[in-house]
């Protein structure tokens, strides 16, 4: 079996499972946010269940429209807050303690290797970087799982992606996953588990792995997953709140497809409007002017991402024709960035620094685009109207490219700044 099949078998108390099989499985953690939790809460109450299955296994994180941007957002958050108090949910994270959900949960050690995690948010697949099976589900599935501790699944086929060769300067997990999505398309892994492997992945840092698994959904994937190793161990052993288990795929397993990539040939990559698969080398887009830069999100709002951006922009200024918004993904990351002087670097460069929020990524707040405006962002989606007006445009890149573009006033690379 693959690592995905082994985890699903263990959680459905079966010796083995196979692709296409329908199973009922116990979940280790359930996640919802201020957009999706209110729907789940409404459905949960319709079920008539007297209590949640486990108040320590449900994470409710208001991060999309928070700090609350208007009355409607405040009402949504109040529903989540009241439910958490009523059922004594231990993993409710209020503003000031919260962070972007898919960064916060690994950081807090609440997702561990071998877990089965569901979340009412499509980027729940992020946690596959830890060697867990994690996938997004609907709010009604979350409601049923909050009551029963279980969810149904169709066991997905697995596609193996093998990466080898040395990464070029400034190239990281974001470039690898954008290149991959560009290769297979936004439906290239539809309802399949994307298993990332190879020597390049073995040397890739945890933040790079989290970025890759985060965007598996942008290729239609049911999940993204990486077999845990020493890098995983060093990340989780000081954080894990529960016991964990490393699974790995059998050597003789048969995959639905296998794709191989020579990473020495992958350049800094940008996704152009209006699909994540519409990729081009960053160096070819030097004529594309921009109005806004966003560095943050569940894809690239980690400390290492902020460090990369700070290295590029240190001692420079944001172009006078551009506005730049930097969003550390959690309070811990915000504080560490402050201690390291990263926030000073951004503010000196005349960028705005925000409290943790998903904000602009989904066109919520803290950086909405007007008609005809163009942004380059470290976020994960660039659909029509994703960050604001339907006639605005979003380009996706890694933090170094985004920071260089902020200085240049157009899409550019760190090399153009002599870095």
Specify the residue for token string 């990466």: 163
pLDDT tens digits, 58-99: 999 999 999 999 999 999 999 999 999 999 999 999 999 999
Mean per-residue pLDDT, 357-382: 96
0.85 surpassed by pTM: yes
- Say how far residue 235 (Cα) sits from the centre of its chain: 17
Mean per-residue pLDDT, 47-60: 95
How do beta strands 22-26 and 150-154 pair? antiparallel
Superfamily of 3-261 according to CATH? Aconitase, domain 3 (3.30.499.10)
Question: Residue 78's pLDDT is what?
Answer: 97
**Domain spanning 269-417 has what CATH number?**
3.30.499.10
- The span from the CA of 163 to the CA of 337, in Å, is 31
- The span from the CA of 388 to the CA of 354, in Å, is 18
Name the strand (E) or helix (H) holding 159.
strand 157-164
pLDDT tens digits, 24-45: 999 999 999 999 999 999 999 9
* Same fold for the pair 3-261 and 269-417: yes
- Say how far residue 333 (Cα) sits from the centre of its chain: 15
In the chain, helix, strand, coil percent, each to 5?
A: 35, 20, 45
Closest CA to 163 of 151, 153, 154, 172: 172
**pLDDT averaged over every residue in the chain:** 97
- The domains of the chain are located at 3-261, 269-417
CA dist 145 → 30, 31, 93, 106, 151 (Å): 7, 10, 20, 21, 6
- The span from the CA of 412 to the CA of 419, in Å, is 12
């Amino acid at each position: 079996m693959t690592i995905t099949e082994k985890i699903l078998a263990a959680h459905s108390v079966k010796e083995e499972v196979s692709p296409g099989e329908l199973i009922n499985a116990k979940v280790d953690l359930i996640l919802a946010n201020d957009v999706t939790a209110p729907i789940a809460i409404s459905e949960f109450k319709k079920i008539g269940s007297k209590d949640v299955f486990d108040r320590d296994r449900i994470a409710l994180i208001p991060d999309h429209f928070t700090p609350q941007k208007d009355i409607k957002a405040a009402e949504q958050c109040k529903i989540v807050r009241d439910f958490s108090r009523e059922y004594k949910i231990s993993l409710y994270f209020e503003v000031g303690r919260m962070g972007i959900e898919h960064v916060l949960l690994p950081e807090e050690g609440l997702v561990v290797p071998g877990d089965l995690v569901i979340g009412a948010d499509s980027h729940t697949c992020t946690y596959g970087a830890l060697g867990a099976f994690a996938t997004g589900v609907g709010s009604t599935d979350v409601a049923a799982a909050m009551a029963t501790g279980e969810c149904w699944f169709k066991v997905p086929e697995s596609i193996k992606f093998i990466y080898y060769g040395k990464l070029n300067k400034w190239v990281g997990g974001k470039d690898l996953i954008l290149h991959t999505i560009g290769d297979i398309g936004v439906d290239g892994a539809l309802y399949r588990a994307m298993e990332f492997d190879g020597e390049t992945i073995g040397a890739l840092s945890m933040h790079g792995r989290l970025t890759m698994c985060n965007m598996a959904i942008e290729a239609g994937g049911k999940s993204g997953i990486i077999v845990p190793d020493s890098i995983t161990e060093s990340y989780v052993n000081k954080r894990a709140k529960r016991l964990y288990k490393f699974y790995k795929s059998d050597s003789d397993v048969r995959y639905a497809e296998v794709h191989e990539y020579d990473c020495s040939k992958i350049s800094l990559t940008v996704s152009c409007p209006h699909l994540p698969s519409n990729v081009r080398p960053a160096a070819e887009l030097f004529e594309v002017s921009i109005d806004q830069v966003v560095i943050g999100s569940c894809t690239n709002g980690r400390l290492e991402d902020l460090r990369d951006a700070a290295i590029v922009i240190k001692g420079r200024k944001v172009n006078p024709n551009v506005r730049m918004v930097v969003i550390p993904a959690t309070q811990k990351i915000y504080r560490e960035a402050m201690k390291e002087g990263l926030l000073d670097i951004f503010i000196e460069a005349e960028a705005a620094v925000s409290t943790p929020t998903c904000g602009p990524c989904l066109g919520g707040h803290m950086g909405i685009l007007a008609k005809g405006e163009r942004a380059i962002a470290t976020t994960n989606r660039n659909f029509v109207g994703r960050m604001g007006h339907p006639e605005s445009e979003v380009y996706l890149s890694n933090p170094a490219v985004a920071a260089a573009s902020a200085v240049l006033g157009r899409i550019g690379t760190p090399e153009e700044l002599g870095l």
